[in-house]
Chain A
Amino acid sequence: GESVGLHLPTLSVQEGDNSIINCAYSNSASDYFIWYKQESGKGPQFIIDIRSNMDKRQGQRVTVLLNKTVKHLSLQIAATQPGDSAVYFCAERARNTPLVFGKGTRLSVIA
């Protein structure tokens, strides 16, 4: 796959468990954040976003938490499934600037 070869941190979880993927961002001016999932052979897929005026946002089986004090973002996936195996990227954006991507985390789900 396209991200194979990148020396990414890897998170291995058992199927059915919850996953937490963390991301530290660098720009204190960032006001918008997105989590993307990239499966082998595919482009990054939008999962969920959050603006800086929020601390938490929930989607279907996913929750994003934002801690602006320590510039930390996390993605929680409930009841992780084999189809969740992928590389996950956080992206941040300050006003009038493009999205800047983190290095990514590889999630491996053990059946």
Chain B
Amino acid sequence: DSGVTQTPKHLITATGQRVTLRCSPRSGDLSVYWYQQSLDQGLQFLIQYYNGEERAKGNILERFSAQQFPDLHSELNLSSLELGDSALYFCASSPASEATEAFFGQGTRLTVV
């Protein structure tokens, strides 16, 4: 158990819909990272938050957004969903703003139908 908790584990939704994925980092970790893992793209970095502030942005679509709350949990919002958004979404956390000792959650499998 990495200590990073993601909910829900599975999500099935229709095209055009909006979903929210949730991540609770390890106790004491201030950074949260979101990654997307699809069958043909491997692990792609989406966005990082550190202590409530956006720290780095990767290949995140404009339809996607994220935030980190005062209690350090994070949510990834995916809207106007398309079939191609079907993937595993992982959250990772690390103690500092630098991506060292990053531990991953079990992921949320999103299926868009």
Contact = CB atoms under 8 A, between A and B. Distances in A.
Interface in B56-105: 56, 58, 88, 90, 92, 98-105
Contacts of B43: 44, 89, 91, 101
Given A2-B88, A93-B98, A96-B98, A101 B105 contact: no
12 contacts: A5-B40, A6-B39, A36-B104, A43-B107, A46-B101, A46-B104, A89-B43, A93-B100, A95-B98, A98-B48, A100-B45, A101-B44
Interface residues of B, number: 28
Interface in A22-43: 32, 34, 36, 42-43
Contact of B104 (A45, A97, A98, A103): A45
Interface of A: 2-3, 5-6, 32, 34, 36, 42-46, 49, 89, 91, 93, 95-104
Contacts of B58: 98
B51 interface: no
Contact of A42 (B56, B92, B106): B106
A44 B90 contact: yes
B42 interface: yes
Best-surrounded residue of B58, B90, B99 (most CB of chain A within 10 A): B99
Contacts, number: 68
Contacts of A97: 56, 99
Given A96-B98, A97-B56, A43 B2 contact: yes
Given A2-B107, A44-B104, A93-B98, 10 more contacts: A2-B37, A5-B40, A34-B102, A43-B4, A44-B92, A46-B101, A93-B99, A97-B99, A98-B56, A102-B42
Contacts of A98: 33, 45, 48, 56, 58, 99
B56 A101 contact: no
A46 B102 contact: yes
A49 B42 contact: no
